[in-house]
Structure 1
Amino acid sequence: MPDAMPEVLAFLRSRRSRPAKSLGLPVPDEAALAPILEAGLRVPDHGKLEPWRLIILEQAALARLAALTEMRAAEMGHDAERIAKSKSQFADAALVVAVISSPVISEKVPQVEQTLSAGAVCLSLLNAAAAAGWGANWLTGWMALDAPFLQQGLALTPDEFVAGFIHIGTERAAPPERPRPDIAAKTSWMRS
């Protein structure tokens, strides 16, 4: 029988994201963020390609991205409500880790596996932040895939995109518990 870690399983069974709008100051400083990032990068990575990278967005960068979001959304013809909601993702944030999907040319590892690895980084960062006592939320939005936004705002290459904007901070108000998936409805067994 394997060595069980019931406390880790209990943590994973009770983990939850915290709404980004409920997160505020203080946020982890560089020293407090380092172990979260280290844990966040311990994900399945077939071929050891490391097909992802991180960009830490602090206040000045977030203000710049909020302005760029507003400008791009207006150029794209979004309505005022959608512009305000998109802009607030950066304007109201205190610390965001942008997880960049950065695929590597490989004959052995398909791009979809590399993209899934970047998604695993997002979830791993959420779990690490929660384990360190911080609230965290994984957001995307149209900005995660908009080429002009990505190039102007984050200096990404044409083959890169944002797998997730991971907001981390101090939780100001706990949201109510939400219904969880029905395991029986989402699980099937193939025994032959």
Structure 2
Amino acid sequence: MPAPNPAALDFLLTRRSTSAKTLGLPVPDDAALETILTAAARSPDHGKLEPWRFILLDRAALLAMSIKVTERATVLQIDPDQTVKSRDEYARSHLAVIVVSSPVASEKIPDSEQLFSAGAVCLSLLNAALASGWGANWLSGWASRDPEILTWLGVATSESIAGIIHLGTESSTPPDRPRPDLAAITTRFRP
């Protein structure tokens, strides 16, 4: 019989992401962040390719990102409301981790599986932060796909951003939201 871990299961059944808008100080220090990143790096990785990497954005980097996003939004003629929303996402944040999908050439492991592994890293990072008592939110948005911003961040043309995880202290308890109806999304295959 398997050995259950009720605390871990309870965490997974009740976890909720925090709104990035409600994250404040303090943020994880280097030791806490190392633990969170170590947990994230234990994600499923078919072929042990480690097809992902991290870019850390501290407060100064996030403020620079908010300026870069505003500049690019002007050039790209992004809707003004969307520009403000995107700018503020970075301007109000104090710590974020960019998870970069960085595929490795492999005859056995397709790029799609490597991208899924990077997505698993995002979720593991989010859950590790929440399990450590921090607030966390996984975001992306148009700026995470803009070629000029990617180059500015040091993301190679062969890479992409799988997610940006904002970390901090919750200033309010996140509300629960409707969850999927398992009966509507689950079928049992019978040959």
TM-score by length of 2: 0.98
* Identical amino acids, percent of aligned pairs: 54
Alpha-carbon displacement from aligned partner over 1:17-50 (angstroms, at most 9, x marks no partner): 1110010000001011111110011111111110
Offset of residue 156 of structure 1: 1.1
Whole-angstrom distance in 2 between the partners of 1:131 and 1:118? 20
Which structure 2 segments of 5+ residues have no match? Answer: none
For 1:1-192, list aligned pairs within 5 A: 1-152=1-152, 154-192=153-191
CA contact (8 A) 2:63 2:90 kept: yes
Whole-angstrom distance in 2 between the partners of 1:166 and 1:191? 39
Alpha-carbon displacement from aligned partner over 1:34-72 (angstroms, at most 9, x marks no partner): 111100111111111100000110011101111000000
Q: What is the CA RMSD across the aligned residues, in angstroms?
A: 0.8
Offset of residue 173 of structure 1: 1.1
Offset of residue 191 of structure 1: 2.9
Offset of residue 175 of structure 1: 2.6
SS in 2 for 1:48: coil
Offset of residue 159 of structure 1: 1.0
Flag as ranges the 4+ runs of structure 1 deviating above 4 A: none
Whole-angstrom distance in 2 between the partners of 1:69 and 1:187? 40
Whole-angstrom distance in 1 between the partners of 2:62 and 2:112? 29
Letter in 2 for 1:170: T
Whole-angstrom distance in 1 between the partners of 2:87 and 2:109? 36
Offset of residue 146 of structure 1: 1.0
Offset of residue 179 of structure 1: 0.9
What number of residue pairs does the alignment pair up? 191
Alpha-carbon displacement from aligned partner over 1:138-157 (angstroms, at most 9, x marks no partner): 000011111111101x1111
Alpha-carbon displacement from aligned partner over 1:102-156 (angstroms, at most 9, x marks no partner): 111111100000000000000000110011000100000011111111101x111
Whole-angstrom distance in 1 between the partners of 2:174 and 2:10? 20
Whole-angstrom distance in 2 between the partners of 1:45 and 1:7? 25
